[in-house]
Structure 1
């Protein structure tokens, strides 16, 4: 497979190339975003590994350019571990995200997993088009910009509120236990502390529900868990 590696640190870029070439892949190296964009226009590439903080054109803006014409898998590499950076990257269309320092074995495993998934997609009659907007009644969640609108008014969300709402809206009318919801949103093992989860649910309800005391969207099924209720 042809893989683009865009990383301004020479040692990291060459180390990634070495490990991916051992798996039989052909690697195209770029030291900045504009060089990467040029390679994307010249060659048929199957996957891109992008550093976020690159000179001339950063990884986020490079991904915006890629998604205008291509749905190849994109894996971000970054030293930035801020929650909203990760949410933004995934919202722009990234498929995976690794924070430095990372193990080369983990990167190779994630590359192989993305290539397998892409192969399954390409082998079907129609390639699935990723959802970019989730809508229900007056709610509109823009996954590209990671923004919520209610009746065309922008409603600011914290990172965990956004992730919780996006997850629940993607799976309407499905009940998730507190453990399942916590592990999806916080990406960590549930430690039987309901307070953190319930505070986030409460804040989110106050922002999206017509009446937070009688929720219509994020509903608690006692003894079971929470769901996003969507009436057909």
Structure 2
């Protein structure tokens, strides 16, 4: 019997019951169901879930908004399960804290396969992150950031970073897998409001890429999602390079 706790959130009873039946056949028995955003938040506050399946269109609130709130309480993988299938919907879901996006109608066996994949990855990342972030030290494949020392090593060598370059990279490390507009980054890192001029952020992102990326023209850490903003994608030491 599987011990992982899974939260199923959907306003359609038929889908909830079908998912429960399929998952129980796969030996998942610690399943919890919610049909509204309010019920979901109450459960998330009470129970430490290992994974959340989340519909976008709920009767009391938008699933994207709900995902942001859930992220205040848990880092468990969130898999969107929804009929909204445009590229913008998918990028929005992944950018605000979701880990995967499955569109309706769906194959229940695909959902099970995705759940198993995320749970395996979560166990690996949990172990890796415990090894990779210790006492203010952030370790990734090509660089290590020493928060307390204000120092960054790239491929084992200490490189010179300006204060703002360091602060920007530290902000990315602390807010991985989240999309921020250039305006938001300016406000978060520089501590000032920006009035349409985002050239500073663009310039500093370019500087970071040239220092931490193996190929700055094809970055894998700091990515630009066209029309949405920048996202930091972590690549840990134990992952395949």
Same fold (TM over 0.5): yes
* SS of residue paired to 2:130: coil
Tell whether the 8 Å contact from 1:52 to 1:76 is kept in structure 2 after alignment: yes
| Structure 1 Cα separation of the partners of residues 215 and 40 of structure 2 | 43
Is 1:93 the counterpart of 2:97? The answer is: yes
Matched with 1:55 is: 59
The Cα shift of 1:54 comes to 0.5
* SS of residue paired to 2:72: coil
Tell whether the 8 Å contact from 1:147 to 1:155 is kept in structure 2 after alignment: no
Q: Provide TM-score, normalisation by structure 1.
A: 0.60
* SS of residue paired to 1:53: coil
Is 1:69 the counterpart of 2:73? The answer is: yes
Is 1:24 the counterpart of 2:19? The answer is: no
* SS of residue paired to 2:102: strand
Matched with 2:115 is: 111
5+ long unaligned stretches in structure 2: 141-163, 188-193, 198-204, 228-241
Q: Provide TM-score, normalisation by structure 2.
A: 0.58
5+ long unaligned stretches in structure 1: 157-164, 187-199, 204-232
Question: Can you list the C-alpha shifts for 1:54-98, whole angstroms capped at 9, x where unaligned?
Answer: 011321122111111210111001111122221121111111111
Question: Can you list the C-alpha shifts for 1:180-218, whole angstroms capped at 9, x where unaligned?
Answer: x9xx999xxxxxxxxxxxxx8xx9xxxxxxxxxxxxxxx
Is 1:42 the counterpart of 2:46? The answer is: yes
Tell whether the 8 Å contact from 1:3 to 1:45 is kept in structure 2 after alignment: yes
Q: 1:148 to 1:33 in 2, by over 3 A?
A: same
Q: More relative contact order in 1 or in 2 (CA 8 Å, sep 6+)? A: 2
Aligned positions of 1:138-177 closer than 5 A: 144-149=178-183, 153=194, 173-175=213-215
Question: Can you list the C-alpha shifts for 1:39-62, whole angstroms capped at 9, x where unaligned?
Answer: 112222111000011011321122
Q: 2:5 aligns with which of 2, 7, 17?
A: 2
Is 1:13 the counterpart of 2:47? The answer is: no
RMSD: 4.2
**Number of matched residues?**
176
| Structure 2 Cα separation of the partners of residues 3 and 22 of structure 1 | 14
Matched with 2:82 is: 78
* SS of residue paired to 1:12: helix
Aligned positions of 1:117-128 closer than 5 A: 117-124=121-128, 126=130
